[in-house]
Amino acid sequence: MRTLTATIGLVCALATSSIANAALSGCAKNLALRVTNIYENGDTEFHYDYCENIHDGRGYTSGIAGFCTGTSDAWVVLQEYHRMTGGKDEFSQYDAVMKKLDKSGSGSTTGLDGYCKTWEKLGKSDPKFRTAQEKVRDEMYFDPSQKLADSLDAQLDVTRAQIYDASIQHGIGEGYDSIGGLIKRTNESFKADASGSSGSTLKVNGHNVDEIVWLNKFLKVRMDDLKNPHNKETQKEWSGSVTRVKSYQYIVAQKQYRWDSSIKALDNDGKVAEVKCKI
Ligand SMILES: *[C@@H]1O[C@H](CO)[C@@H](O)[C@H](O)[C@H]1NC(C)=O
């Protein structure tokens, strides 16, 4: 990763929502991933076959989540792919070098001649390689973000998608600028019950807080952090990326709380764009 996924009757549906978390799945998950793609990759598509050295010190950046040879997540994808192919495939020739890079965390591309050609080819043509990328994206990035949403007991798609988007940019962790820091500061701002009309109430510090009231506060905390992060190295990059927070503020203002086949969000120019579920 460079910066740093049926109605069966009323009684049954009610019972489910009170005991289980409203995990993002199907089109709601597809939309969450696509909205974040706008801000990470410039469009809503999944670029399985992308591979490039963008000279950020992390080696080759590639695939649907910007997996890097210098940050170990590309190696996790290749290992997953090897498991699916039985171990001998077109990426095997890079295993020795990838293992070394995994240990050193180096952005060197020595010994990786043809790596991007192989990635592009298999990203276009091999369903197994695509599945391997999806699996690692979910395990390393999407699922951990949804665990955090579970810890809040968030029920609305918009909240769960926002926690994913913030996790991708801010990183999973407890530091001031990371998603844990943002959630902590949001939680701490509630000193009393805060009502609203979203239909979902969170328990925060013993207070009943409407989920959309919580989300609006979270978006404000995140916006403030993007403009003034503790890590000053990211300040320039982050101050230019406030559109993704404005986009979610727009989504909330339009009361798009539960997501179905499409939603309206803001693109990188701040223009309203329809994002459609395509599975
Ligand atoms: C925020 O509040 C929720 C609900 O009380 C809690 O489960 C979660 O751990 C809190 N998160 C942080 C980072 O403080």
Beta bridge partners of 207: 204
Neighbours of 179 (CB within 10 A): 25
**What's the gap between Cα 122 and its chain centre?**
23
Question: Does the pLDDT value for residue 13 go beyond 90?
Answer: no
Confidence (pLDDT) at 240? 84
Which secondary-structure segment (H or E) carries 88?
none
Lowest mean pLDDT segment, chosen from 1-15, 56-70, 126-140 = 1-15
Regarding the beta carbon of 185 and ligand 1, being less than 6 Å apart is answered no
Residue 25 Cα to ligand 1 midpoint, Å, equals 23
Confidence (pLDDT) at 131? 98
Over residues 85-98, the pLDDT tens digits come to: 999 999 999 999 99
Q: Which pLDDT band, with edges at 50, 70 and 90, does 14 fall under?
A: very low
Lowest mean pLDDT segment, chosen from 3-7, 22-26, 70-74, 171-175 = 3-7
Residue 259 Cα to ligand 1 midpoint, Å, equals 24
Pocket test for ligand 1, best of 178, 204, 210 (most atoms within 8 A of CB): 204
Confidence (pLDDT) at 153? 96
Over residues 61-75, the pLDDT tens digits come to: 999 999 999 999 999
Pocket test for ligand 1, best of 21, 146, 147, 151 (most atoms within 8 A of CB): 151
- The average pLDDT across 119-136 equals 98
Structural tokens at position 55: 């000279």
If you classify domain 26-276 with CATH, what class do you get?
mainly alpha
Confidence (pLDDT) at 251? 98
Confidence (pLDDT) at 1? 55
Regarding the beta carbon of 152 and ligand 1, being less than 6 Å apart is answered yes
Regarding the beta carbon of 203 and ligand 1, being less than 6 Å apart is answered yes
CA count, 13 A, side-chain hemisphere, 30: 12
Regarding the beta carbon of 183 and ligand 1, being less than 6 Å apart is answered yes
Pocket test for ligand 1, best of 145, 146, 152, 155 (most atoms within 8 A of CB): 152
Confidence (pLDDT) at 12? 33
Nearest-CA residue for atom 4 of ligand 1: 204
What is the phi-psi region of residue 23: left when phi exceeds 0, alpha when psi lies from -120 to 50, beta otherwise? beta
Q: 157-170 vs 179-188: helix axis angle to the nearest 10? A: 130
Confidence (pLDDT) at 215? 98
User: Catalytic positions, please?
Assistant: 40, 56
- Rounded to whole angstroms, the Cα distance separating 2 from 73 reads 10
Regarding the beta carbon of 151 and ligand 1, being less than 6 Å apart is answered yes
Over residues 141-150, the pLDDT tens digits come to: 999 999 999 9
Residue 187 Cα: closest atom of ligand 1: 1
Question: Does the pLDDT value for residue 15 go beyond 80?
Answer: no
Structural tokens at position 214: 């919580």
Confidence (pLDDT) at 211? 98
- The average pLDDT across 243-260 equals 98
- The average pLDDT across 264-274 equals 97
Average pLDDT, the chain: 92
Confidence (pLDDT) at 190? 98
Confidence (pLDDT) at 235? 87
Q: Is the pTM here over 0.75, yes or no? A: yes
Structural tokens at position 97: 């070098």
- Look up tokens 């990188």; give the residue: 268
Confidence (pLDDT) at 132? 98
76 touches 123 (CB < 8 A) = no
Confidence (pLDDT) at 7? 31
Confidence (pLDDT) at 79? 98
Regarding the beta carbon of 180 and ligand 1, being less than 6 Å apart is answered yes
Nearest-CA residue for atom 7 of ligand 1: 151
Q: Which pLDDT band, with edges at 50, 70 and 90, does 21 fall under?
A: low
Confidence (pLDDT) at 233? 85
- The average pLDDT across 110-139 equals 97
Closest CA to 221 of 194, 242, 251, 191: 242
User: Where exactly are the structural domains of the chain?
Assistant: 26-276
Residue 68 Cα to ligand 1 midpoint, Å, equals 31
Residue 151 Cα: closest atom of ligand 1: 7
Nearest-CA residue for atom 5 of ligand 1: 204
What is the phi-psi region of residue 174: left when phi exceeds 0, alpha when psi lies from -120 to 50, beta otherwise? alpha
